[in-house]
Amino acid sequence: MTKTTISLIKADIGSSPGHVVVYEPLMEKAEELLEKAKENGLLIDFMVFNAGDDTNLLMTHEKGVNSEEIHKLAWDIFMDLGKDAREYGLYGAGQDLLTDTFSGNVKGMGPGVAEMEIEERPAEPIIVFAMDKTEPGAFNYPIFNIFANPFNTAGLVIDPKLHEGFKFNIMDIYHNKYLSLSCPEQMYDLLALVGAPGHYVIKSVFSKNEELGQAAVISTDKLSLIAGKYVGKDDPVAVVRSQSGFPAVGEVLEAFTLGHLVSGWMRGSHRGPLMPVSLEYSQNGRFDGPPRVVSLGFQLKNGKIVGPVDLFDDVSFDHVRRRANEIADYIRAHGPFEPSRLPLSEMEYTTLPEVLKKFENMFTDE
Ligand code: 13P
Ligand code: 13P
Ligand code: MG
Ligand code: MG
């Protein structure tokens, strides 16, 4: 059986105004360029969509993960869009393109990548997510809930195909090391680590049934560490498989009903509730947020994207959005105080060294 690869590659190429939303002509250009790649036979199918100011290229093909051809295609498109973004005068033009020359793989060059190669089941439901104004660890909470929490995913208890649980591959983003933990047996160990989403990030999830294989993948390209300094955040993307041995679509989406607190709002330096929105409302207004997540679901058939649906374009998420906005009011009322503002070590912007320097010799013992 042939294998299909789903590659979701994203970058912030520039937006208007400020960090609000991708400028539409950029997405049209990306579509034209991907259409050419499809005509040339490199891609089977594709979709372009945005999460706030991030441009997402969803591509299907048979080249496997880390394919130089596919990564180069995405890189060249981003470079091309970056040029346009500069001409249009967009904000943060080329923000996520950290180097000028492609070196075989976009990893470490700025864009975020979530990709997996799967053997398609006869009916293969896929859900992709893209978040803005946050960080890869923002996926820890929902991914844990989807694949390990029986209060979220009923199938873990009542579906024999899910009952064995899942394996989580986590990444220590400070040391670039990986660890695999198995749930439910090692659930408390897993939570001890991924409860610190600024340090340990869920990278991928696997079924314990080897025939089913990989269940999910999350982009973990931490820009701050790639560049050795903060250069803009690392708004993450993820690909999740669903149904028939994996959590149901509704179990996957259920994990986004809290409006859980994530890091990365305003200037990459604040916490806020993650609000699930339709593509139409994927723009950041209030205090450059609140942080948002969009989701597309579709059936994959021989690599074709069949019947894509904007999954958060749904009245059953209205109250989640309302609550997220109330949480946003509450946390914003703290102004420059933690925990609204991030701790000093995690802020993208800080005046602290200057403030300390100004008063360097003025601290007294009493
Ligand atoms: P500037 O300081 O470049 O205007 O950007 C503010 C901001 O929103 C950065 O993330
Ligand atoms: P992005 O990381 O989405 O470009 O946002 C920058 C920011 O900090 C806006 O306040
Ligand atoms: Mg931006
Ligand atoms: Mg962004």
- Mean pLDDT split into 10-residue runs, the chain, 366 residues: 92 96 97 98 98 97 98 97 97 87 82 96 98 95 98 97 96 88 98 94 95 95 56 82 98 98 94 98 95 98 98 98 98 97 83 87 91
Q: What is the CATH number of the domain that holds 82?
A: 3.30.70
Does 162 share its domain with 79?
no
227 occurs within a structural domain: yes
Q: Which atom of ligand 2 is least distant from the CA of 54?
A: 3
Does 236 share its domain with 268?
yes
pLDDT in the model for residue 346: 82
Does 240 share its domain with 220?
yes
Calpha distance 70→8 (Å, rounded): 11
Token representation of residue 123: 């009916």
pLDDT in the model for residue 233: 61
Does 11 share its domain with 92?
yes
Q: Tell me, what DSSP letter sits at residue 279?
A: G
- Number of structural domains (the chain) is 2
* Residue minimizing CA distance to atom 3 of ligand 2: 133
Query: Taking CB atoms and a 6 Å cutoff, what residues make up the pocket around ligand 1?
Result: 19, 267-268
Does 141 share its domain with 205?
yes
The model's pTM is 0.95
DSSP string, 125-158: EEEEEEEESS-GGGGHHHHHHHHH-TTT-THHHH
Does 85 share its domain with 173?
no
Domain containing 61: what range?
1-117
Q: Which candidate, 88, 85, 87, places its Cα nearest to that of 55?
A: 85
pLDDT in the model for residue 226: 61
Does 127 share its domain with 225?
yes
Smallest-distance ligand from the CA of 266: 2
Token representation of residue 305: 């994207």
Does 104 share its domain with 143?
no
Does 72 share its domain with 124?
no
* Residue minimizing CA distance to atom 1 of ligand 2: 133
Does 267 share its domain with 341?
yes
Does 58 share its domain with 169?
no
pLDDT in the model for residue 117: 98
> Which of 117, 143, 160 is the last residue in one of the domains?
117
361 occurs within a structural domain: no
Does 47 share its domain with 162?
no
pLDDT in the model for residue 222: 57
pLDDT in the model for residue 232: 41
Segments in 149-200 forming alpha helices (H): 155-158, 187-194
